């Protein structure tokens, strides 16, 4: 899955809210989930491609982190099939996953 996800990573490291459309809005929750996946793939394979993808995604998340530490550009809840939120803001779900990712990376050093 990690290998299949690599072509959809944007040049700046993040992922779009519509993952197959790189021109769509950047979205933090898919970016952090992808970064966690890349981290696990790197741990199991030691393939530097996954480590680079993880680090690039982490850098993209750092660019959308507010001064108070909140991660921005998280898409709000989907209202139903085909009814996607147009509101992007901070969400605790993403904040927790970013902290989990940071903890896992730091524990490997």
Query: Which pairs with CB-CB distance under 8 Å and at least 24 residues apart come from 37-46?
Result: 37/1, 37/2, 37/5, 38/2, 38/5, 39/101, 39/104, 39/105, 40/2, 41/2, 41/3, 43/108
What was the pLDDT predicted at 30? 86
The mean pLDDT of 34-48, rounded to a whole number, is: 96
Report residue 38 CA to chain centroid gap: 10
Mean pLDDT score of the chain, rounded to an integer?
84
**pLDDT tens readout for residues 14-40:** 988 778 877 777 888 889 999 999 999
pTM (two decimals)? 0.84
């Amino acid at each position: 899955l990690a290998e299949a996800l690599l072509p959809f990573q944007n040049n700046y490291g993040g992922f779009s809210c519509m993952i197959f459309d790189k021109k769509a809005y950047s979205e933090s929750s898919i970016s952090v989930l992808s970064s966690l996946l890349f981290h696990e793939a790197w741990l199991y394979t030691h393939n530097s491609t996954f480590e680079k993808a993880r680090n690039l995604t982490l850098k993209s998340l750092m660019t959308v982190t507010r001064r108070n530490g909140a991660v921005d550009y998280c898409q709000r809840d989907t209202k139903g099939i085909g009814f996607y939120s147009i509101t992007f803001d901070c969400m605790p779900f993403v904040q927790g996953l970013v902290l989990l990712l940071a903890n896992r990376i730091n524990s490997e050093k």
